Structure 1
Amino acid sequence: MNFSLFQTINDWAGRFVWMDDLMIFCANDIVWIMLVVLAGLWMTGKADNQKAVFYACLTAAVSLLIAAFAISPEVNHPRPFVGHSIHQLIPHAPDASFPSDHATFAFSLAFSLLFVKRKTGAIMLALAVLTGFARVYVGVHYPADIAGAMALSFLVGYAVWKLNGRADALPMFFIRIYRKLTAKVTFLPRP
């Protein structure tokens, strides 16, 4: 079923140049848009927004560490292009594919924000879903790789969200440092 669903999605690759270009962008670069959203939240200077950004980054870091050191080595599932003739639109090392690192990162940010900022989190979740779909479309992940990333990100995001309030001393430490540093920055007067 995993390969069958993969084929259904990946068979669209190579049909339309504009669609391929869009999916390549989504597969590789949507995470940069998500990081810009986080930077924008941080730059508001509001403590709640800055804590949300801190917890989103913490969720992503923990999720990626679990994926890299606990799950991927144990599962060691090959990528679709290793054992099948497929439409591969982007180059990728033939390393383990489960769970998807890109999708883990994107879903971690999305779920973390969804728990505290519903509208922003919903937008981020849509971007994460698009990232996951695109990773399958371009031929570097199976749908199960994306589902695994989503499940891991949700569980870690939920656990971090439950810490919210109890562990606020850590984000507040970094927020205070940031505020001290930016308070000392002076801008040149306008001519």
Structure 2
Amino acid sequence: MDKGLVLQDVVIAKGGNVLLRVDHTIGPGEVLTVMGPSGVGKSTLLSFVTGTLATEFSATGRVLLDGHDITEAPAHLRRVGILFQDDLLFPHMSVGANLAFGLARGGSRAERAAKIAEALSEVGLEGFADRDPATLSGGQKARVALMRMLLSDPCALLLDEPFSRLDAALRAQVREMVFARARVRALPVLMVTHDAEDAAAAGGQVIVLCNDA
């Protein structure tokens, strides 16, 4: 079985106008960066991969993940994790409860608590399970969002400009943490950004989309 994320002859259009064409294989632990200005279709590509493409867009081509064709699979069965600009933590839940949301059903309460504690420890947030997300810094929220997504056991990771709201120093730190976790787990990563530093830090191939309008 071929591991990785394959975007096979993907073409996305809106109103008869082609927005992007991508034909690329992202191997385990590799990062493909898609760059371009706002409105050029970067996030639309991620929506196609996650199975949430809006109806005003049309798409052809296939998405393969670890050898399985997931092009027509329901979004919740695709095993694709995604991080956005905003951390999207649930404000009415504790940090631990937010992480528990990412865990698959099953296992005893003690087993689930142990996984949550291990996840927090991995990103330097030991003892934060009972904290209110509102009390966390931007970097801490980003770490919790990352681990919640990883606890869902994805087979690929999508990044929708997740570092853009962080200041320069924190941005570099969180960015390296995300890429390192992806490498350790051998996850193929598809990142969209307009920031050249993000692309350079990713270290993989870069596709540049142009807005011809």
**Is the helix fraction higher in 1 or 2?**
1
TM-score (norm 1): 0.31
TM-score (norm 2): 0.28
Larger Rg: 1
